[in-house]
Chain A
Amino acid sequence: DAGITQSPRHKVTETGTPVTLRCHQTENHRYMYWYRQDPGHGLRLIHYSYGVKDTDKGEVSDGYSVSRSKTEDFLLTLESATSSQTSVYFCAISYRTGNTGELFFGEGSRLTVL
């Protein structure tokens, strides 16, 4: 198994509260990603990072921010959670980009916003 740890694994919060999800890797991979998984949509990219302090937006970035201060950690923050952000969030890592870059996924973080 790829050394990816997500925390927390489950969280219930209320609308308007801030939430931070953490992804920690032990593989020293350059690329890290945050996806959300929703029924009927598969996985959609929120943000990704291609190095320390280097991040970019994905398909569904509105309402989310990220930070990467160390190679091993990639944080996803919901500044003010909304019910539409109820989802399962997956972190993924890759040692290379593009069309040959296999993604390795964490086990997911289930977030419920009431």
Chain B
Amino acid sequence: GDSVTQMEGPVTLSEEAFLTINCTYTATGYPSLFWYVQYPGEGLQLLLKATKADDKGSNKGFEATYRKETTSFHLEKGSVQVSDSAVYFCALTMYNNNDMRFGAGTRLTVKP
């Protein structure tokens, strides 16, 4: 079935370092792709999304590009801050499908 695989964590970076969190997907058609973020003690919130190949989602300095040829949607940020410390989830859903599939999550810790 449709699924998402994201890099194992945890990831620890120093402030202002470059961030990449890898995400690849398996799907029978053309899914929409999402990154959600979960801050401690909270529910998930949408960070960015892309609904078709070559689309780039961006928000709060984070970016991810929908690559159909490599079935990937890697999350990047040029300069992380302590406030970016959270768990990041890659997810996909198919058109008219109510079952959004999530990756296992990657915990990011940013140290001052």
Contact = CB atoms under 8 A, between A and B. Distances in A.
Contact of B31 (A4, A50, A99): A99
A62 B67 CA distance: 35
A56 B98 contact: yes
Nearest to B106: A42
A100 B51 contact: yes
A107 interface: yes
B99 A59 contact: yes
Interface in B18-48: 31-32, 34, 36, 41-46
B97 A98 contact: yes
Given A33-B98, A41-B104, A42-B105, A102 B89 contact: no
Contact of A45 (B4, B99, B103): B99
B93 A99 contact: yes
A11 B4 CA distance: 31
A27 to B, nearest CB: 14
B51 to A, nearest CB: 6
Interface of A: 4, 31, 33, 39-45, 48, 50, 56, 58-59, 90, 92, 97-108
28 contacts: A33-B98, A40-B104, A42-B102, A42-B104, A44-B102, A45-B100, A48-B98, A50-B98, A56-B98, A59-B99, A90-B44, A97-B96, A97-B97, A98-B32, A98-B95, A99-B51, A99-B93, A99-B96, A100-B32, A102-B46, A103-B100, A104-B45, A105-B44, A105-B45, A106-B43, A107-B42, A107-B43, A108-B43
